[in-house]
Chain A
């Protein structure tokens, strides 16, 4: 079982709608969760992090964390074509006694005008 799983997509959402991206993780001890956005041909950039159960909002972005169910999600409200990118979920986890940041394979999101 992969430590961090995302649906690779592509996920297609009409402009102005809510895009919902999901991520599940296997390590119950994980404490920190990150969402990175990666445009085609570019490097990943951090858009949000969350470490407490519940919701965290930043502009049009909301990260949601449910540690009991071991999932973290990212909602993008009022989706814009410029939101089209691959979104990477990253989770800090302990592997062989060492803390590491493990990435999911990413979900490709396309916002259709």
Chain B
């Protein structure tokens, strides 16, 4: 079974702090993704990566950056946390490109981040 592990389940940070969210997958997947999920807005893609050291902006990259130094690890960085970044953050991985018909996303358990 694919396992995607997010380092923290709950996180509380102060405005202006630099925040790191870590994600590790154990299935040698090429593609990794960071989403945020908000009520009424659904899942929105922040960044994704299709290979080590490669990254692509998603729909809402502003205020975020990412790092992928190893294939199994994909980190999301909030450079200066703000209250509007309070959300549920979901990491996902996939063995094939997004467009492939048989390319399911395997999600981690999520990190609920609160910025005060």
The residues of A with any CB-CB pair to B shorter than 8 Å are: 8, 31-32, 34, 36, 42-46, 49, 51, 88, 90, 92, 95, 98-101, 103-106
Contacts and interface: CB of A to CB of B under 8 A. Distances in A.
Contacts, number: 54
8 nearest interchain CB pairs?
A99-B99, A105-B42, A43-B107, A51-B101, A103-B43, A46-B104, A32-B101, A101-B98
Chain B interface extent, by class: 20 to 34
Contacts of B59: 95, 100
Given A43-B90, A92-B99, A92-B101, 8 more contacts: A31-B101, A42-B109, A42-B110, A46-B104, A49-B102, A92-B98, A100-B98, A104-B42
A43 B108 contact: yes
A32 B41 contact: no
Nearest to B110: A43
